[in-house]
Amino acid sequence: MERVYQIGDYYDDGVKQGVVIQVSEDGLHGKILSLQQCCCCWADELEAIRSEIRAYSKSDGAKNQAVAMEQDCWQQRYPAFAFCASLGEGWYLPAMEELETFLRNDISVLNAVNQCLEQLGAPIVKGWYWSSTERGYFAYDDEYLVARVHVKDFKYPWNYRIKDEDKSGAGDVRAVARF
């Protein structure tokens, strides 16, 4: 019999481990957030910072991850994507709307996820997170911008924001995988 999951449950299928952040109506499928987190830049070389890879999906980070992985020397040039891929098959840098949907959910969702992370000794979700979504071009610096999502305080579920930022700054990365 398959296990039925709820948001905030620990997920471990023997290959992937994480905290459930989204579930289907039957509780058999959904998305998990990685237990691991790292702080790195989205792109690490000037050419990568100033180029567009066409990671345009706002809702499908797996699609953006695939686009990044098609780039030359992608593991060195795109550290945020490389971190997610290093967790194993199926992990990806979430798209802007995937992060936004999770972060704007009912406060009990956010609390359940962070409570599970704390119990597991993993870092809780707070601060700035890179998304995989490219969002435009900033001519002044000759750079392409990507969306970052900021979580200020879990006491208020609307207390997050999205900001376009250049690819070179340091930011937290949390991977997502489907189950």
Q: Check: CB of residue 42 under 8 Å from CB of residue 132.
A: no
Sequence spans of domains, the chain: 10-178
The span from the CA of 4 to the CA of 153, in Å, is 30
Inter-axis angle of helices 61-69 and 79-86, nearest 10: 110
Tens place of pLDDT for every residue, the chain, 179 residues? 789 999 999 999 999 999 999 999 999 999 999 999 999 998 886 666 667 788 889 899 999 999 999 999 999 999 999 999 999 999 999 998 888 776 665 677 778 999 999 999 999 988 788 899 987 654 444 445 676 665 655 454 445 556 666 677 788 999 999 99
* Among 151, 144, 59, residue whose Cα is nearest residue 105: 151
**C-alpha distances in angstroms, 39 versus 1, 49, 83, 127, 129?**
39, 17, 10, 11, 9
The span from the CA of 16 to the CA of 89, in Å, is 9
* Among 65, 72, 71, 76, residue whose Cα is nearest residue 41: 76
Answer positive or negative: Cα dihedral of 6, 21, 30, 179.
negative
Answer positive or negative: Cα dihedral of 103, 126, 99, 162.
positive
Q: Check: CB of residue 58 under 8 Å from CB of residue 95.
A: yes
Placement of tokens 């797996």 in the chain: 62
